[in-house]
Amino acid sequence: MISLRARRARAALLRLRRRLGFERNALRRGVDRRQRAVGIGAVAVFAVVAAPASAGVASVAYASGVRAERAEAAGHHRITARVSGIQKQDDGEQRYTYARLAWTAPDGREHSAVIAAGRTARLGAALRIWVDARGEISRRPQNRTDTVAGAVFAGAGAAGAAALPPLAVYLLVRRRCDRDREEMWDAAWARLDRPHIG
């Protein structure tokens, strides 16, 4: 005896088969079969083109990211800076707090910069910051997580770009098929409206 779950799965497969147009139905017209064939072809083209395009672009992006990691790691250093001053601004609606940081670069030169700070900033507090090869404050260098994320996004973008031409062809064919179906409906209604003598 077939279980209820198996019957439901079989019914779902039959519904999917009918929706995709793979059942033998005498009511299916040539225009319906043509649209279905173009749709299947578009999916096949996408499946063949998207995987290698996505893998190739992701590989190039990953290699570029690894090179950027090495270059930035060589030129960036993490050092400790001290808060040497605090400035507060109040425009009536919001309060802004800025901290002046002072630090000594790896080459021995003194540097300073003003950054946005929280209300808890205190004079003399130590902050870990990134500096570039000149000793100027900079953003965090690229790490492996950034590289992998960039490669994933590049691969997804390549897959999306590979989907556009087949999708455009399918949509154009579908539009034409819809127009043909409308003309067939109009012709059928005209035959029904014609008076029958006999």
pLDDT in tens, 12-44: 887 877 776 666 666 677 788 888 888 889 989
Percent of the chain with pLDDT over 90: 29
Q: Are 69 and 141 in contact (CB under 8 A)?
A: yes
- Quote the DSSP letter at residue 93: S
Helix (H) or strand (E) holding 83: strand 77-90
Query: If we measure between CA atoms, which residue out of 71, 75, 77, 115 comes closest to residue 97?
Result: 115
Q: What is the mean pLDDT of the chain?
A: 84
**Range of lowest pLDDT (70-79, 137-146, 189-198):** 189-198
Tell me, what's the pLDDT at 75?
A: 81
Which residues neighbour 72 within 8 Å (Cβ) at sequence distance 6 or greater?
141, 142
SS3 194: coil
Quick check: 1 pLDDT over 60? no
Q: Are 46 and 158 in contact (CB under 8 A)?
A: no
Residues 63, 66, 68, CA angle at the centre, nearest 5°? 110
- pLDDT at position 198 is 52
Give residue 192's pLDDT band: very low, low, confident or very high (50, 70, 90): confident
Output the CA angle 81-88-95, nearest 5 degrees: 120
Question: How many whole angstroms separate alpha carbon 190 and alpha carbon 159?
Answer: 46
Q: Write the pLDDT tens digit of every residue in 83-94.
A: 888 888 777 777
The mean per-residue pLDDT over the stretch 159-176 comes to 93
The stretch 37-61 carries a mean pLDDT of: 92
- Which range in 1-10, 12-21, 80-89, 150-159 is most confidently predicted, on average pLDDT? 150-159
Local confidence band at 104 (pLDDT 50, 70, 90 cut-offs): confident
Q: What's the pLDDT at 197?
A: 59
Task: Please report the pLDDT score of residue 20 as a whole number.
Answer: 65
